[in-house]
Each structure stands twice: as C-alpha cells, then as structure tokens.
C-alpha cells in the first residue's frame, strides 16, 4: 500500500514538473491577469488599515460602483488630491477590502466615499458587504475616529434619489464618524453629474485645506504608472481583447474544443454571436435594431427583465480623428506598470495605442470641464492656454461653447486650435489616465427566459444626429451604431453605399469578434413579474421602453402554451410611439393578444402623426383612470420602463392623481401611497 502511495506521489510530481509552464501561466493569469481579482493589493491583504499603512498613504478614497462611473469620479478626485495637494492617496474599490480596521487608520488620514445608487435606493452589488459593515458600525459607534466626505451618483427620477449615498452617510453619522461637507448628489437625470461633482469638490477642497492645512500647488500631471514602449506584438500583447483571459498567452480563454471558458460576468464578458438582426423602424431617418444573441454553451443564465451589458468599441472615423488630433501613432506598443501596489492598470496591457483608443477609452462622449483644467499645462501655445483656462473656470461659458455644441474631446480641441492639428504636446500617458474608460452599455432584455432560454433579444434605438459644429458631422452613440453596422453586414447590405455616419472594425482583436460577435454580460435586475399570474399588471413603456414588456408578455404566452388552465389577471400595456413607422413589434402584439385573450390589452398612442393631436402614454393613463384604479385596488403591479427624463416623472404624477381622485385623498397622501407601492416592489421602474 505504501508503495502505491509513493508511486502516486511520484507520478503527481512528474506531471507537475512537465506541466510547470502551463500551471505557471494559469497561476499568473489568475493572480496578475484580471483587474477584478478580489485580493486587495499585490500583497494580497484585504485589511484596509494595513494596506494603507504599508503603502504610506495619507488619504483614502473609496468607491462603490455599479457600472464604473463612481469609480471614474473617485479616480479623478484621487488624482487631483495628489497633483494639487501632494497627498499620497489610496483609491480602491470597497469590494476588494475588509473594513473592520477602518477606525484604526490615523486620524489625520481623511476618507472620501464615491457611491452610486442602484435599483430602489440600494448599494451597488459589489458593496453589499461594505453596507453590512457600515450598519454594524452604526450600532457600535465604530467609526468615531474617521472623518469622511461622500459623493453620491444617482438619478433624480427615481424615488430613492442617491439613496445609497444617503444611507451610507446616515450609517456613518450613527457610527460616530465626522461627516465632512455635505453629501454631493450627482444627478444623471438632469445630465448634471459632472457639474454637481465639480461644485461638491470645490466645497470639499475648501474644507480639506483648512482641516489638513494643505498648500495648493499648480496642477501638474504625474502618471500613476511606469510607461514602457515595446518593440513587437507577442501573444501577451492585447489588441483590444475585452479581458486578459482572451489573450493568446492565456490558457483560460478557450478549452481544447475552442469553447470559451467562463464564468462570464462584468469583468470577463462572453463573446457572443448576433444570430439575427432586424431593422424595426419603417422610415429612413431613424433606426431601431432588434438583435438576437446566442448564449448557448456559455452557461450564462438570464431571467426575463434582466439587462444585457454590451461592450462596445469606437468607430474607425472617431479613432482616426483622435489619433490625428494628438499626433499619435496607433501602432506603438506600450506596457504600464503601477507605481504602487494599490493601483491597478485599467485595461489589459501591454497593448497598442490604437487598441487602447479603439477598445478601452470613451473618446466620443461629452467632455468634463475638469479635463480642460488639466489640459492647461499641455496647451500648444499661450493663446490656447488662455482659452482653456477661461473655459475651465467658467461653467456657463463652458456649457455654451463646448457642451451645447456636443463636441467630443478631439472636436473641442480642434475648435480651440482653429482646426489645426497641433495637440502633440499632450502626452499619451496623460490621455490614457484622464480620458474615461469605455464602459458597457446596458439594454433591457426583450426576450423571455422561459421561451428563449439560449437566446437573448435586445431592442436598441440608434443614436445618430447631425452636428454642424463637429469635425465629423454627426453626434453618434458608440454601441448603437456598432449594432447597426452589425445589422447591415449581417443582412449583407453594402456598408459603403449605406451612407453610415460611422463604420467599425467588426472583426475585433485577432478576429475575436468575427462572425458578428461582441463581448457581453448579463446583469441581474429586480424588474420581475409577480409570481402569481392572476395578479393584475399595468405596464407603461413607450419607445424602446417596451423592450422588457415584450419579454414579460412572451413569458405569459409561454405559460399559456405549456400549462393547463392557467388564469391570468388583467395585463394592460400602455405603449407610445411617434407614428406607425416606429411602432415596435407591431406584427407581434396581435399574436400575443390571440393567445392571452381578454387578459391582455394593449393601449397604443402616437405623438407625431401629422394633423393629429399629440398623445402620450400619460394621456392614455388618464383616459383609463377608472380601470387603473380598479386594478390597483385589486393589487396590481405597476411597471414603468424607458425615458428617465420626463416620461417616468409624468407617469408618476398621473398615477398619483388617479389614486388621489379614486380614494378622495390629497395628492400628498396619494404620493405617500405611490412611495409605499415603490418600497414594496409593487411599482417598479427600469428607466434610463
Ligand atoms: P453613447 O455613446 O453612450 O452616447 C449617449 C448619447 O450621447 C447618444 O445620444 C449620443 O448621440 C450622445 N453623444 C455622444 N457624444 C456626445 C457629445 N460629445 N456630446 C453630447 N452628446 C453626445 N436603450 C435602448 O435603446 N433600448 C433599451 O432597451 C435600453 N435599456 C436600457 C436599460 C438600462 C438599465 C440602461 C441604463 C440603459 C438602457 N438603454 C437602452 C440605453 C443604452 O444603455 C444606451 O445608453 C443607449 O443605447 C446609447 O448608447 P450608445 O453607446 O449608442 O450611445
């Protein structure tokens, strides 16, 4: 028996030795590859006070981010603290640390928290443990040594606007922490997050200067990374792969049968094929694409009502424009190494400049005023330096001259330099650290996980509008124009003769996307039908807001097809479009109505039919007030999806008015009832 054990051990040793390179590669991938790794810094410690002290940091910036925006602001804040006040800042994701020692950090080390609100006033998914920690600390005065300021990111259309930020501040106050400044409330609905942040930051800086006796220095950029040019493209050089696992040098991307290896999530997306793409609009001036995406073999699961995150890349024309404005050679290869252990490289490196611009940086969106302030030191001449300085300091002028013209960064700089390509003075290292990362775009899944288990449908309106001020005449949405390019190519429409505003490299890095594939991941949502089918349902979804309701109704149809004697409560769907050309899925609804019989009613209206009155879903709700009251009294669930701007707010007030007149109570009291419905999940919103 002993012989067999010894022999077994020997065989294992020989195997380990012969496979050592593969094993080393796998371990290296696991440890070093993925920036979502759960260890906190390179020492692997999750103890916040220990890592802070080991790295000689004297300021702590924490972020709790759902989609990456809070992270982006936190990093910008940390960078400014470093460059302006020469603080030694540690900026980290709360998901990667344990906080039991937070109260032990030196009292002179201040903390700032950047937190986004998700769902009904909730903390982001990755911050659940952090929330538990805060609420326990609140019971025990557990943060009495801490001084903390908080900036929240939210959307004022939601009932629980910046709910997570407010909850965090409440817990921290109860835990005895000193709250520095007011809670900053970024408002995505008003499109003012950037200016909200700037105003909050100025107030906090004033407080910090006094509390920490800080001297202000002229801002000068100092990279957080060691930058190293490389000579050749090897298997470990990223050409824009969405995660380390997809590099040829990694052993973790595909198995021997060529199947992608999961698990797939927000840090390692599945590269999935679009198997069908259909133009839904019947007019030539606008586009809306129905896409069907095959997830079979990925082990990815979704539930009706979830969101799909699509990882886009930038258009060829926009990449070329960006490279030209800054005089960059896209072919150059570089590596980045963090200068300290708490910093992470934001995307797979080594890589090429073209790959980083194309796949990892948000080069076309609106520009933050702060970026202009940072660019002052790199202005190509004195005249432009003056212009940059004035614009960066004058909120209204910036809004008029830059934001309202819908310039992207390259457009804006060309505008300042009168069309001359003279911005070579801006270092590439600066751009890759200060241009925001290109983040996934989310889509409400429009299929049913009951009837389409292996296929996800999305319904996306293509964002494209002419822009007389921009160098490349159109303001475009990154992901939706990519989806449209896929739709045309997939249906063998000649792209060159389609008069498209922009084109894309559809084959992707090392052909990873060829065959009409894109990286994607599923994000769980709380938007769910009531489990009891006899509960009445009121759905309000104009435009692409109808997407999840198509999924809901397909769920119900599937139940009719597969179950006997299923009884449904009334399902009312309020839908609005401009006219009949953009009436989404108009051939499908009558089919669903046939199956669901009287339990399904679709109420449709149009806002732009020539010669007719503009009618919106809100008007239809008022018209059907009596039915809505009856259904609410019968326990109906209400769902609103789509435009976060006006529609969701208007719907909220119409429902409030309906309840008020039905019950004979004041609108204030009715508003309280609506609030209660929201808290209890009987009034759900999926708005953007
Ligand atoms: P982006 O590149 O993100 O641009 C956004 C907008 O800004 C566009 O209108 C663009 O034209 C404009 N823009 C670009 N550059 C500038 C500039 N320099 N200055 C000013 N404006 C500029 N959308 C759907 O169509 N269907 C859905 O089902 C859907 N579901 C969603 C669900 C959730 C939970 C969320 C958060 C969003 C959802 N969206 C949906 C919206 C979607 O995520 C995208 O925001 C949308 O498709 C636009 O993405 P894009 O990459 O094409 O545009």
The interface pTM score, or ipTM, of the predicted complex is 0.99
At residue 268, φ and ψ (nearest 5 deg) are: -140, 90
Report the C-alpha gap between 327 and 616 in whole angstroms.
49
Is the sign of the CA dihedral 497, 608, 643, 446 positive or negative? negative
N-terminal to C-terminal alpha carbon distance within the chain: 67
Q: Identify which has the larger pLDDT, 279 or 14.
A: 279
pLDDT at 240: 98
Q: Is 441 in the pocket of ligand 1 (CB under 6 A)?
A: yes
Other CB atoms closer than 10 Å to residue 173's CB: what's the count?
Answer: 14
Which atom of ligand 1 is the closest one to the Cα of 547? Answer: 28
**Lowest-confidence region among 76-90, 243-257, 418-432, 546-560:** 243-257
Distance from Cα 285 to the centre of ligand 1, integer Å: 18
pLDDT at 681: 94
Q: Are 48-212 and 537-687 the same fold in CATH? A: yes
pLDDT at 41: 61
Where do the structural domains in the chain lie, given as residue ranges? 2-33, 48-212, 226-260+313-434, 537-687
356 band by pLDDT with thresholds 50, 70 and 90: very high
- Fold (topology level) of 537-687: Rossmann fold (3.40.50)
Which atom of ligand 1 is the closest one to the Cα of 67? Answer: 36
User: Whose alpha carbon is nearest atom 10 of ligand 1?
Assistant: 477
Distance from Cα 119 to the centre of ligand 1, integer Å: 19
Give yes or no for residue 134 having a pLDDT over 90: yes
* 437-494 residue pLDDT tens: 999 999 999 999 999 999 999 999 999 999 999 999 999 999 999 999 999 999 999 9
User: What ranges in 63-192 are assigned the alpha helix state H?
Assistant: 69-85, 128-139, 163-174
Residues near 298 by beta carbon (within 8 Å), at least 6 away in sequence: 260, 262, 264, 270, 272
pLDDT at 516: 98
Q: Is 408 in the pocket of ligand 1 (CB under 6 A)?
A: yes
pLDDT at 13: 43
- Fold (topology level) of 48-212: Rossmann fold (3.40.50)
Distance from Cα 642 to the centre of ligand 1, integer Å: 12
E strands in 537-672: 537-540, 571-577, 600-606, 637-642
Distance from Cα 464 to the centre of ligand 1, integer Å: 10
User: Whose alpha carbon is nearest atom 34 of ligand 1?
Assistant: 442
Which atom of ligand 1 is the closest one to the Cα of 465? Answer: 11
Return the best residue to mutate from 158, 359, 366, 443 for the ligand 1 pocket (most ligand atoms within 8 A of CB): 443
**pLDDT (average), residues 43-69:** 94
**Residue 369: Cβ-neighbour burial (10 angstroms; 0-12, 13-18, 19+):** buried
Report the C-alpha gap between 83 and 222 in whole angstroms.
7
Give the position of tokens 């039908």.
Answer: 529
Return the best residue to mutate from 153, 189, 475, 645 for the ligand 1 pocket (most ligand atoms within 8 A of CB): 475
Distance from Cα 409 to the centre of ligand 1, integer Å: 18
Which atom of ligand 1 is the closest one to the Cα of 523? Answer: 34
Which atom of ligand 1 is the closest one to the Cα of 364? Answer: 15
Task: Name the average pLDDT for the chain.
Answer: 92
Q: For 239-253, give the DSSP string.
A: SS-SSGGGSTT-SSS
Distance from Cα 253 to the centre of ligand 1, integer Å: 30
Helices (H) and strands (E) in the chain, counts: 21, 22
Q: Is 478 in the pocket of ligand 1 (CB under 6 A)?
A: yes
* 333-349 residue pLDDT tens: 999 999 988 999 999 99
Residue 572 CA to its chain's centroid (Å): 31
Q: Is 444 in the pocket of ligand 1 (CB under 6 A)?
A: yes
**pLDDT (average), residues 400-427:** 97
User: Whose alpha carbon is nearest atom 3 of ligand 1?
Assistant: 477
Give yes or no for residue 400 having a pLDDT over 90: yes
Distance from Cα 441 to the centre of ligand 1, integer Å: 7
Report the C-alpha gap between 196 and 436 in whole angstroms.
17
Q: Is 291 in the pocket of ligand 1 (CB under 6 A)?
A: no
pLDDT at 39: 44
Report the C-alpha gap between 219 and 59 in whole angstroms.
18
Q: Is 483 in the pocket of ligand 1 (CB under 6 A)?
A: no
* 633-662 residue pLDDT tens: 999 999 999 988 789 999 999 999 999 999
Q: Is 442 in the pocket of ligand 1 (CB under 6 A)?
A: yes
Return the best residue to mutate from 467, 477, 504, 640 for the ligand 1 pocket (most ligand atoms within 8 A of CB): 477
pLDDT at 176: 97
Give yes or no for residue 255 having a pLDDT over 90: no
* 379-395 residue pLDDT tens: 999 999 999 999 999 99
pLDDT at 32: 37
Q: Using alpha carbons, select from 171, 213, 206, 175 the residue that is nearest to residue 87.
A: 213
Give the position of tokens 């008022």.
Answer: 622
Distance from Cα 149 to the centre of ligand 1, integer Å: 30
Give yes or no for residue 12 having a pLDDT over 50: no
Q: Are 79 and 433 in contact (CB under 8 A)?
A: yes
163 band by pLDDT with thresholds 50, 70 and 90: very high
Which atom of ligand 1 is the closest one to the Cα of 288? Answer: 25
Q: Is 462 in the pocket of ligand 1 (CB under 6 A)?
A: no
Q: Is 518 in the pocket of ligand 1 (CB under 6 A)?
A: no
**pLDDT (average), residues 584-601:** 97
Distance from Cα 463 to the centre of ligand 1, integer Å: 7
Which atom of ligand 1 is the closest one to the Cα of 408? Answer: 18
Report the C-alpha gap between 87 and 80 in whole angstroms.
9
42 band by pLDDT with thresholds 50, 70 and 90: low
**pLDDT (average), residues 482-511:** 95
User: Whose alpha carbon is nearest atom 1 of ligand 1?
Assistant: 477
- Fold (topology level) of 226-260+313-434: NADPH-cytochrome p450 Reductase; Chain A, domain 3 (1.20.990)
Residue 579 CA to its chain's centroid (Å): 31
Which atom of ligand 1 is the closest one to the Cα of 446? Answer: 28
Return the best residue to mutate from 288, 411, 442, 525 for the ligand 1 pocket (most ligand atoms within 8 A of CB): 442
pLDDT at 498: 87
């Amino acid at each position: 028996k002993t012989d067999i054990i010894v022999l077994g051990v020997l065989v294992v040793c020989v195997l380990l030795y012969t496979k050592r390179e593969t094993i080393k590669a796998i371990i290296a991938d696991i440890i070093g590859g993925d920036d979502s790794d759960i260890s906190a810094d390179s020492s692997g410690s999750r103890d916040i006070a220990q890592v802070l002290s080991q790295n000689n940091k004297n300021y702590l910036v924490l972020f709790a981010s759902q989609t990456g925006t809070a992270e982006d602001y936190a990093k910008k804040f940390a960078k400014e603290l470093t460059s302006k006040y020469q603080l030694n800042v540690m900026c980290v994701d709360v998901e990667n640390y344990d906080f039991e020692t937070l109260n032990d950090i030196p009292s002179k080390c201040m903390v700032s928290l950047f937190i986004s609100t998700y769902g009904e006033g909730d903390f982001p998914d990755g911050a659940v443990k952090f929330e538990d920690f805060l609420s326990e600390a609140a019971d025990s005065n557990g943060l009495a040594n801490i001084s903390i300021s908080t900036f929240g990111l939210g959307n004022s259309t939601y009932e629980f606007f910046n709910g997570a930020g407010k909850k965090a501040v409440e817990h921290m106050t109860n835990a005895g922490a000193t709250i520095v400044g007011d809670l900053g409330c970024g408002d995505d609905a008003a499109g003012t997050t950037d200016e909200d942040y700037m105003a909050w930051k100025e107030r906090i800086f004033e407080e910090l200067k006094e509390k920490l006796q800080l001297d202000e220095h002229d801002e000068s950029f100092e990279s957080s990374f060691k930058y190293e040019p490389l000579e050749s493209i090897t298997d470990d050089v990223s050409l824009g792969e969405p995660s380390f696992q997809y590099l040829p040098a990694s052993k973790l991307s595909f198995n021997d049968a060529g199947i992608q290896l999961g698990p797939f999530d927000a840090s390692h997306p599945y590269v999935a094929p679009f198997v069908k793409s259909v133009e839904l609009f019947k007019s030539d001036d606008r586009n809306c694409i129905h896409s069907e995406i095959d997830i079979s073999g990925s082990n990815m699961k979704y539930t009706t009502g979830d969101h799909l995150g699509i990882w886009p890349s930038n258009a060829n024309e926009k990449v070329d424009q960006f490279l030209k404005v800054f005089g960059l050679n896209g072919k150059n290869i570089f590596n980045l190494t963090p200068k300290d252990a708490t910093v992470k490289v934001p995307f797979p490196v080594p890589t090429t400049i073209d790959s980083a611009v194309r796949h990892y940086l948000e080069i076309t969106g609106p520009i933050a005023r702060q970026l202009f302030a940072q660019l002052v030191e790199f202005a190509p001449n004195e005249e432009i330096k003056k212009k940059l300085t004035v614009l960066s300091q004058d909120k209204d002028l910036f809004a008029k001259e830059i934001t309202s013209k819908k310039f992207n960064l390259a457009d804006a700089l060309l505008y300042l330099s009168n069309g001359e390509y003279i911005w070579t003075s801006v270092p590439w290292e600066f751009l890759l650290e200060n241009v925001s990362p290109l983040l996934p775009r989310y889509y409400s899944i429009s299929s049913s996980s009951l009837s389409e288990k292996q296929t996800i449908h999305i319904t996306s309106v293509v964002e494209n509008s002419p822009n007389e001020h921009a160098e490349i005449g159109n303001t475009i949405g990154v992901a939706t124009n990519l989806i449209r390019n896929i739709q045309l190519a997939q249906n063998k429409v000649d792209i060159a003769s389609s008069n498209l505003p922009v084109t894309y490299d559809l084959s992707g890095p090392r052909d990873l996307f060829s065959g009409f594939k894109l990286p994607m991941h599923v994000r769980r949502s709380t938007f769910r039908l009531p489990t009891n089918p006899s509960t009445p349902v009121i759905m309000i979804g104009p435009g692409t807001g109808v997407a999840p309701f198509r999924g809901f109704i397909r769920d119900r149809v599937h139940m009719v097809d597969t179950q006997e004697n299923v009884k449904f409560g009334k399902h009312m769907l309020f839908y609005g479009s401009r006219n009949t050309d953009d009436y989404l899925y108009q051939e499908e609804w009558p089919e669903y109505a046939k199956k669901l019989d009287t339990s399904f009613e679709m109420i449709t209206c149009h806002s732009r039919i020539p010669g007719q009155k503009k009618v919106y879903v809100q008007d239809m709700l008022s018209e059907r007030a009596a039915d809505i009251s009856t259904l609410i009294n019968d326990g109906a669930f209400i769902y609103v999806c789509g435009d976060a701007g006006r529609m969701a707010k208007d719907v909220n007030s119409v429902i409030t008015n309906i309840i008020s007149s039905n019950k004979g109570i004041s609108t204030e009291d009715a508003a309280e009832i609506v609030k209660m419905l929201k808290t209890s999940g009987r009034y759900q919103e999926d708005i953007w």
